[in-house]
Amino acid sequence: MTDRDIVVRRQRETGEAVRLERLGIDVPLGGAHDVRERARAAARGMVLPANDLLDIASTAHAAGRVARVLARVTGNAPLLAVIGAGIADLGPLRQLIEGALDDRGEVRDDASPELRQIRREVTEAHDRLQQRMQTLLGSPAIRGALQESIITQRDGRYVFPVKAESRSAVRGVVHDTSASGATVYVEPLPVVELGNRWRELRVQERHEVERILREISEAVGQAAEDVVDAIDRLARVDVALAKARLAAELDARDLAEGAAEGRWLLETPAQLRLVEARHPLLEGDVVPISLHVGGEDRALLITGPNTGGKTVALKTAGLLCLMALAGLPVPAREGTRIPVYDAVFADIGDEQSIEQSLSTFSGHMTAIIDIIERAGAGSLVLLDELGAGTDPTEGAALGVALVDRLVEAGASLIATTHHSELKLYAHRTPAVTNASVEFDLETLSPTYRLTIGLPGQSNALAIASNLGMPAGVIDAAREGLSSEQRDMEGLLADLRSQLAAAEERAQRAAIDAAHAETLRADLERRLDELAAETTRMRDEARARVRTELRDVERYLEKTRREVEAARLDQARADLQRARTAAKVLEPEPPTPEERAWEPSRRSAPAALVDEPVAAGSVVWLRGISMPGEVLSDIDDHGEFDVQLGALHTRVRLEQVERTGSREELPAAGGSGQHLPAPPPLAPEEIEVRGRRLDEALPEIEDFLDRAARSGRARVRLIHGKGTGTLRRAVRELLARHPLVTSYEAGVPQEGGDGVTVVYLASVR
């Protein structure tokens, strides 16, 4: 193909098939047949035989499988997926065929209700016929007239083999006689009607089968376009998969998988560049070649000894270009660039023809004339042995003229030659480049390496000398060379020596550069590792500081709570001792200061509760010389909360001596004997759901402290379920908290595991 878009699409299909093969994705094409002509025949009204219909059903099945597989690999093979998506749904046609035909191509009994009924009647008629024949066979009158006591068939009718001389003993229809005439095959009259009925039903069965095949064939004809299109699409997929297998055989997957954007397929005019290209038909240890031609370097002239690989290089370039334009995998490496040529012209080999009276030179000239007339800017021209087959001087001059003409036409030219004049011409002409194939003089064998920019040597005298040619002959031949030829050979030898030295220096420089690159990469890796280690250590240090800071804060808070708890314990102990002393000793008369704010016990009758006790009431308790404020209503056990100055406690109703008025409470801001107001009652629950640990835990600790101070014995922590991290942290805190006696998960009505119920120690 010469259209770049089409070439790119074909190469992309090849690349996608290579990708699927590497991924181990099998595209099942088994069971597909080329039934296009049979589908078209059905469209013209032909009734297809059962075997053809089964092939169509198998193809429909394969098409469905391929479509489903390609639909699942859209990401890896978009073009092949588009091909698969265009396959029509042939499932109904397949079901129709397989529902009517079995694997042997026989029409099934349930292909139609009529056929099922007919075949049932055929079986019944056949059974009656057999039974009647068996009955007659057992008759003594008939058995004696038979050659053998068997039932056989002639012309589709059941008959007896009757002896010719006993023909009159069996009345019936004669259907055949034996070759000797000794046996007559007679259908007895009693079974003639039964045989007729059986035959009629068989005819009906055949007609029904033909009708069913006709209907199925009509369905195939109606779907003929879809069937033909499906086969065409399956063929495209099959070709892509075959190209993928070829790519694996040729080790040509690199360019195939890089064809997604078609970046290595160029519009003409452009430069052809082959990198480590290999001829696809060569096997074994193949020496790859690299060359470029086109653009500024319009022509490439390859020189060197015979059998050196000049023609192989020429054929490799041409064949790989044609393979690329056909969508085939190209055995070359990354960096290869191939223009989409309008035409590729080649004149390679001996064109002698006795019939046309053409010599080798005439044959070459006939082909080259045609090339000159047709080649243009979008053409690749390959010419082998340019200027050969005639006088060397004239051949060289003609070769120069041909190269000039093709370069002016804009064609890309690769040619091989032995003419020294063409080597000089290439050296002097900017648009023409020399190239050569190497030859090892020590082993007298070609290396097949192609060197761009340097003309080749024929090495004829050196080869002849190494093969044993007498020295005198070699010397005489050298003297016969012109000074220009000797200078040319010497110049080429010097150039090759300089090139070898340059290549050695370049190789050493490449090694040094690779070593330096390795060192640079290693240094960068170490710097990256050092930076990562520094960042890690800094993050770990920050994390440790934050952890230690939190531990210190928690320790200080715990210490504060322990100190306050110790004070409260001391206060409770003092209060208990005071109560004990009050029971043992008579109370002393109150001092004037006490009388100023504490009413005398004698001022109110004992055990006088003149007002109901409720939240907000003022009560006097037995053994306590100061009034207290009731903080809660009386519960079912007769207990309630009382605030006595700074002391918050819970008492029983029997401990109340009398009630009083709020004026009897110590006034705020009074004498130093007045205690601070009691803390307000803390809430019963706190919600920290969705908080971070560093926010939630301090807030919980503060809540527990306030709840314990306000007298709460049971509180709820709502932390939610989530991932469980916050729940675990909260319960670890509760396990070591001094104010917590126990804790448990909430009941389902409270929120289950998303809530923790905490029981607090009394600090009254």
String of DSSP letters for 668-713: TT-STTPPPPPPPPPPSEEE-TT--HHHHHHHHHHHHHHHHHTT-S
Which of 120, 329, 486, 669 has the alpha carbon at shortest distance from 112?
120
- Asked if 262 contacts 1 with a C-beta cutoff of 8 angstroms, the reply is no
Architecture of domain 685-760: 2-Layer Sandwich (3.30)
Give strand pairing partners of 642: 630, 649
Nearest to 208 by CA among 103, 118, 110: 118
User: Do you know the residue count of the chain?
Assistant: 764
CATH topology for 264-480 is: Rossmann fold (3.40.50)
SS3 11: helix
Model pLDDT, residue 573: 66
CA distance 700 to 236: 72
Sequence ranges of the domains in the chain: 4-90+223-255, 111-218, 264-480, 586-664, 685-760
Residues paired with 639 in a beta bridge: 652
| CA 174/CA 159 separation, integer angstroms | 8
411, 377 Cβ separation under 8 angstroms: yes
CB within 8 A of 677, min separation 6: which ones? 668
Q: Average pLDDT across each block of 10 residues of the chain; the chain has 764 residues. List them in order.
A: 91 92 92 94 94 95 95 92 94 94 92 93 93 89 86 90 87 89 91 92 94 95 95 96 93 75 83 92 87 90 78 92 94 92 88 51 82 93 84 84 92 89 86 84 71 73 72 76 59 62 78 87 89 88 85 79 69 63 50 44 42 82 76 84 77 81 62 47 84 88 85 87 87 86 86 89 62
* Contacts of residue 220, Cβ cutoff 8 Å, sequence gap at least 6: 38, 39, 42, 43, 48, 53, 56, 93, 227
What one-character DSSP code corresponds to residue 176? Answer: E
Q: What is the CATH number of domain 586-664?
A: 2.30.30.140
Torsion sign over Cα 293, 294, 296, 300: positive
Q: What is the pLDDT of residue 96?
A: 95
The span from the CA of 17 to the CA of 663, in Å, is 100
Q: What is the structure's pLDDT at 694?
A: 85
Q: What was the pLDDT predicted at 554?
A: 81
CA dihedral over 248, 254, 260, 265, signed as positive or negative: negative
- For residue 269, whether the previous peptide bond is cis, meaning omega lies within 30 degrees of 0, is yes
pLDDT for the residue 604: 36
DSSP-derived 3-state class of residue 454: coil
C-alpha distances (whole Å) from 720 to each of 340, 695, 731 are: 69, 15, 13
Answer yes or no: are the C-beta atoms of 605 and 658 closer than 8 Å: yes
Residue 411 three-state SS: coil
Tell me what pLDDT residue 305 has.
Answer: 72
CB 299 within 8 A of CB 381: no
CA distance 752 to 747: 5
**φ, ψ dihedrals at 75, nearest 5°:** -65, -35
In contact, 265 and 8? CB cutoff 8 Å:
yes
Crossing angle of helices 192-222 and 36-43, rounded to 10°: 110
In this predicted structure, what is the pLDDT of residue 274? 93
Selection from 333, 330, 345 nearest residue 10 by Cα:
330
- The residues with which 162 forms a beta bridge, in sequence order, are 146, 184
Q: How far apart are CA 52 and CA 45, in angstroms?
A: 15
pLDDT for residue 338: 93
Q: Rounded to an integer, what distance in angstroms lies between the CA atom of residue 341 and that of residue 2?
A: 6
Architecture of domain 111-218: Orthogonal Bundle (1.10)
- Per-residue confidence (pLDDT) for residue 475, from 0 to 100: 76
Q: According to the model, what pLDDT value does residue 491 have? A: 57
Q: Which of 150, 188, 453, 196 lies closest to 301, judged by CA?
A: 453
β-strands 432-440, 445-452 pairing:
antiparallel
